[in-house]
Structures are given as C-alpha cells and as structure tokens.
Amino acid sequence: MIKRHGPVSEDIARRYLIELIMAIEALQSKKILHRDLKLANILLTSENPAEASIKIADFGFARFLTDSLAGT
C-alpha cells in the first residue's frame, strides 16, 4: 500500500494502530496466540487508505493459550 499511495497521514496510522491493538486484545480475550504477526499478515480491507480497516491473516502458527503457556 505504501508503494502505491506513499506514506499515510499520522491520523490514519493512529487508526490502524488502534485497530491492530483492538484485534490483538480480541484474540487475547479468546486465549489465541497468533505467533506470526508481521506486516505480511496484516491486511487492509480497501485500496483507499482512508477507508481501509485492519484484518489479521494467516493463523497457521496460532495456538490456543493454555495454563501452561500462560505461566500459571
């Protein structure tokens, strides 16, 4: 997206970051560990940066968090 549209504004970057944090919190609340979170696995729902939302993809390495993994 950056190659096509150039850098996004600070407001859009902030919105993307908030959405990413909310997505990670949602996974955490369901006790899911993604284990492969990287830019290639963070997708946007639209070509237009101002309209796009964040989606997390590729759960191939994901695992459910168990008590032994949580350290309890």
Q: Which residues are catalytic?
A: 36
37: nearest Cα among 46, 28, 45: 28
Largest CA distance in the chain: 46
Spatial separation of the C-alpha atoms in residues 41 and 61, rounded to whole Å: 12
